[in-house]
Structure 1
Amino acid sequence: MKRYAVGLDGGGTKTAVTIVDENGLEVHTFTSGAINYNGQDEASVQASLAEIFRKIDRVCDGLHHCAQVCIGAAGISNPTVTTRLESSVRASGYEGPLFITGDQDTALCGAHNRELGIILIAGTGSICYGKNEAGDTHRAGGYGYLIDDEGSGYSIGRDLLSVVVRAHDGRLPATVITGMVFEQLGMTSIQQIIGFVYDKQTNKKDIAALAPILSQACELGDEAALAIADKSARSLLELVVPVAEKLSMQEGVLAMAGSALLKNSFIQTAFINGLKERYPAMTCITPKRDAASGAALMALNRLQ
């Protein structure tokens, strides 16, 4: 009987699914609705999982051919999240082996194509996570935009907005960032900017969406922009140090992930230079595969 392993990467707005056969060959990939209890209600998570398992049922020619499922999800340090996810999966008709883990685990496994290494993620938020040969793990960051997430897309967006208001007051010299922010938001006054920032409808992703402006401003040599890029790189390096030290992985391999790090060459270059200075023997890579593929590999590794 043919057996399959399935990996789910439960992102903030969607779920990526990868199905592999027992030899690890990719059979099918697709995306569906979010299964993140931090941002979705119970009914929509259940509806998304029901749809996902209907599709798995079709691809695997019956859920009984699905021999292992691994779900990487946010917020699983909260034990109720794991319990709720499991009951929703069972309600979808899947009765086989199920492994639920943190989304940083599946991202790390995808990035390295194995369950060992360090991953630094700088997307809307920021976190560094590692696992060594002994199976020890450590994380730094990832505590949310109100008190953490330095070096992330959100913190860059916030810093750009901060530069705009300070330059307006004369606390900073004039900067190209002002015109770029106004243009992207379709606004013409500081009052409109303040309205946007404190509007209850504005969320962290709206602020993070401003982050690409930083690259353009850095390319023009804008001093305020270059200062933000430097600060972001230093903040990201700060996340790596405790993970490398705690796990004795100063000579390990670090995967860089997330658009704030991968799509801004100024931040990336400053970060890599700082890392080389601190850990000359550490190697930097970009992810080999995505988190859904990492989840599928983790499922495959657990096939009975």
Structure 2
Amino acid sequence: MNTPRHKRKQATSAASSNPKLPNSDISSSENPASAIIDVSAVEVPELTEQEQSDRLHLERKVERAFFEAGKALAELRDRRLYRSTHSTFEEYCKDRFGYNRSRSYQLIDAAVVVDNLHKCPQIVDILPTAEGQVRPLTKLETQQQQEVWQAAVEKAGGKVPTGRIVKDVVQQIIERTKVPNTYQIGEVCQILVKDNPELRGKSGCWAIVTQVNDFSCTVRTWDSELTVAVQHLKSYDYLPAECQQVQQICDRISRVYSSELEESVQRFLESLGKLKRAYLTQLEEKVLRVLESEYDSEIT
């Protein structure tokens, strides 16, 4: 029995079966791969004056997003608007925005810098668009911030400079203005915060020099040890005996201080850490002795 042959189907395209399709832009005699297709141009209307204004307004909002965030965070912190749900500003930022302490204060400090730059008429048209561009400026004096930003804009060819350009200009100024270190170990100084956010909360505190570096000192305060540039220190010019007295007071405060103490007691100990004299009054001495006796009774 002969098996019937299968008929092979021949595929044909619509173009070959209908060589003259209506509205066809491709000739049947052309190779489809090299065919030319006519595409009609679409006219893009120009922005109206109102649209141009809206675009500029929205662009400015995007550019100022970090600035607005910093301003808002500062107000939330200063007015303690977090107090109904959180005991500290840091906990609130972590839960509400996912910001750790460092990020929250980076935005706050950046907003302070931008506010300062706004006051300089020469640079009002070219302002930072990202927090990283102003981060190197937060450690500078107010006038220096404006000068550095102007120099960075010039270095960037009249455009908004990158954070790297700003950092390079800041480093040049630091190298040019470094002050030699004449402090000695054991010397008692006052901390001058100026515009350094890393010294936040230490304004006016006395500090005992424990290590002398080229352009900074490692100092001990009543509750911590930190490294401070010499421009942020001012010597009290105490006599050696007075420096020794301050060291003894520092040891006593550090021994009894704890974050678990009542807030009023904490504030008292913190006030001792900002004394502008090398001794305690009779009342201060009496209160400190009471706290020391309480501490001794707790550990025995």
Name the TM-score, length of structure 1 as normaliser.
0.25
Pick the structure with more strand per residue. 1
Higher relative contact order (CA 8 A, sep 6+): 1
